[in-house]
Structure 1
Amino acid sequence: MAGVVALLTDFGYRDHYVGVMKGVIWGIAPSVRVADISHATRPQDVFEGAFLLAQAYAYFPPKSIFVAVVDPGVGTQRRPIAARIGDYFFVAPDNGLLTFVIREGESRGWPMRFVHLTQSAYWLPQISRSFHGRDIFAPVAAHLANGIPLDALGPQIEDPVMLPIPEPSPEERGWQGQIIYIDAFGNLITNIQPHHLAGESDWRIQYKDYEIRGLVNTFGEGRPGDLIAMFDSTGYLSLCIVNGNAETKLSAQVGDPLRVLRP
């Protein structure tokens, strides 16, 4: 079954952690291809990790295996789990990292199956209290890549942990939303999606003391330094500074509210 194992963590690149996980995977499944989604998730930010995982997984080949490790509860009683959601496999701590993927699977009617990782035969022999990415999740992914069936890894569960996803609130003239992610360019991704705006572009976006009139389709429709609003590649409404950084210029933070109003 060897194919692709994709990694998403908050480990960064300064330390050895990511490289060690790859070494463990290749030691068990030498022919598997290992890809990196991101290792720059904000430390311990499970929601951000869940968002990034959902943005990436569907662009990989079917049967790809995703190892997501943003794990502030490592070493506690939180469960390690594996899952099949649609055509993909996931290995992660049971702390909500799969929330967005599960939501999409539910909306599309995909088959889903979850197991609690209890079969230590598929782990490393020694388990640390602080690095389950190396000791449990990486080896489990490698065994899946070698063709070990999901059900061999542990008993089925029906209650994976789900994070609350903030939904926009309807108002008389539009919606109140919030910033849910800020990317490396400083673009402010909100929880407003196209269906909330019914395909219309003539909206007013109010954020702090700023107002944006109308949506654009490309950065090129604004001048350098302009504050614009557009549905970007994430599929969500984003506030951006053309050739600039909206996070820095607007002192923005995840959780900040905004309003999207009809003219």
Structure 2
Amino acid sequence: MNRTIALLTDFGLTDPYVGQMKGVLAKHAPNSPVIDLSHGVEPFCITQGAFYLWSALNHFPQDTVFVAVIDPGVGTNRRIIGCELGSRVIIAPDNGLVELAEYLSPEAMIVTDLSSLAARKAASATFHGRDIFAPIAAAVSTGEQLSLMGSKLPLRDVARTGISRPVWMENGVEAIVLHRDRFGNLILNIRDNHVLPERVVLPENPPRYPDSRIVRRAACYAELQPRTTGLIIGSQGFYELAVNKGSAAQELSLGPGDSVTFTW
């Protein structure tokens, strides 16, 4: 039985790169459904890619093969890894893309170092997504075992960037922006199982409207007063900064990978 393949890249849709990856998959795994998770990750933004990847895991079939190619280190000695989370598989560069998936998923992650495959394939130095990642995904989706493709890699050796854990202080927290959606909402790396105060304060560098330094919790966007920044638990299970019918990203000049500190 052929497994579903999900593609996540920062390639965009203007160039032929996504199409070439799909062509390789169609050649080597013609019966595997291919779903575009997203090709709109901001270029080189591992933080956003890690968020997209984790947020998608539970919404795809259990045996999906995820191919995540946000790979600013392509052509270097960075590792290529295959990660097993239960029956799900993630093929990715070892640069932090799997950090949230490892930290937030209940299954123990098993990691295989697939880097040796790069030396065996006729691969370009700049497009491993087409030349290495897609053929690996096709092989896995049609039944080949990761254990036959490389050696096991201890979890402690997998690259991490620190995006999985906010930094808690006595009277505040430092969070990282995982994602800025098209509405300007800023998804933070603070899970919904944390209880934040009803009111927190942003740093001294004020936004355009001074009152926006005071951030209040709200249940939904419509509860926020105009030009007021709020903290909402969003659909992905994280707190997010939002402005009712406005853009928190523009208001606060923040984007994926940026840090923000709340005090109370």
**TM-score band, normalised by shorter chain:** 0.7 to 0.9
Distance 1:87 1:173 in 2: 41
5+ residue gaps, structure 1, are none
- Structure 2 vs 1, CA of residues 91 and 172 (structure 1 numbering), >3 Å: closer, same or farther? closer
Counterpart AA for 1:24: V
Please identify, of 207-216 and 23-32, the stretch whose mean Cα deviation from structure 2 is larger: 207-216
Percent pairwise identity? 36
Alpha-carbon shift at residue 171 of structure 1 (Å):
3.7
Distance 1:91 1:239 in 2: 31
Alpha-carbon shift at residue 120 of structure 1 (Å):
4.5
Q: Secondary structure at the match of 1:195?
A: coil
Alpha-carbon shift at residue 118 of structure 1 (Å):
5.2
Does the CA contact (< 8 Å) of 1:119 and 1:152 recur in 2?
Answer: no
Question: What is residue 138 of structure 2 aligned with on the other side?
Answer: 142
Does the CA contact (< 8 Å) of 1:28 and 1:143 recur in 2?
Answer: yes
Asked if residue 220 in structure 1 is aligned to residue 222 in structure 2, the reply is yes
Question: What is residue 47 of structure 1 aligned with on the other side?
Answer: 47
Asked if residue 114 in structure 1 is aligned to residue 111 in structure 2, the reply is yes
**Structure 1, residues 62-107: CA drift from partner, whole Å, max 9, x if none?**
11000000111111111222121123101111222111111124xx
Q: Secondary structure at the match of 1:30?
A: coil
Residue of structure 1 aligned with 2:261, choices 233, 239, 258 = 258
Distance 2:115 2:163 in 1: 29
Please identify, of 233-242 and 17-26, the stretch whose mean Cα deviation from structure 2 is larger: 233-242
Please identify, of 169-178 and 229-238, the stretch whose mean Cα deviation from structure 2 is larger: 169-178
Please identify, of 243-252 and 143-152, the stretch whose mean Cα deviation from structure 2 is larger: 243-252
Counterpart AA for 1:194: D
Q: Secondary structure at the match of 2:202?
A: strand
Question: What is residue 209 of structure 2 aligned with on the other side?
Answer: none
Question: What is residue 179 of structure 1 aligned with on the other side?
Answer: 177
**Structure 1, residues 41-66: CA drift from partner, whole Å, max 9, x if none?**
11112222112111112211111000
Question: What is residue 202 of structure 1 aligned with on the other side?
Answer: 198
Alpha-carbon shift at residue 39 of structure 1 (Å):
0.9
Question: What is residue 152 of structure 2 aligned with on the other side?
Answer: 156
Q: How many residues align?
A: 255
5+ residue gaps, structure 2, are 207-211
Asked if residue 56 in structure 1 is aligned to residue 56 in structure 2, the reply is yes
Please identify, of 28-37 and 214-223, the stretch whose mean Cα deviation from structure 2 is larger: 214-223
Alpha-carbon shift at residue 177 of structure 1 (Å):
3.2
Asked if residue 33 in structure 1 is aligned to residue 30 in structure 2, the reply is no
Does the CA contact (< 8 Å) of 2:9 and 2:38 recur in 1?
Answer: yes
Alpha-carbon shift at residue 192 of structure 1 (Å):
2.7
Q: Secondary structure at the match of 2:110?
A: strand
- Structure 2 vs 1, CA of residues 47 and 178 (structure 1 numbering), >3 Å: closer, same or farther? closer
Please identify, of 76-85 and 11-20, the stretch whose mean Cα deviation from structure 2 is larger: 76-85
Q: Secondary structure at the match of 2:258?
A: coil
Does the CA contact (< 8 Å) of 1:81 and 1:117 recur in 2?
Answer: yes
State TM-score, norm by structure 2. 0.87
Counterpart AA for 1:220: A
**Structure 1, residues 153-183: CA drift from partner, whole Å, max 9, x if none?**
1222212222222643334444343434322
Counterpart AA for 1:230: I
Counterpart AA for 2:186: L
Distance 2:174 2:71 in 1: 31
Does the CA contact (< 8 Å) of 2:172 and 2:261 recur in 1?
Answer: no
Question: What is residue 246 of structure 1 aligned with on the other side?
Answer: 248
Q: Secondary structure at the match of 2:217?
A: coil
Alpha-carbon shift at residue 12 of structure 1 (Å):
0.6
State TM-score, norm by structure 1. 0.87
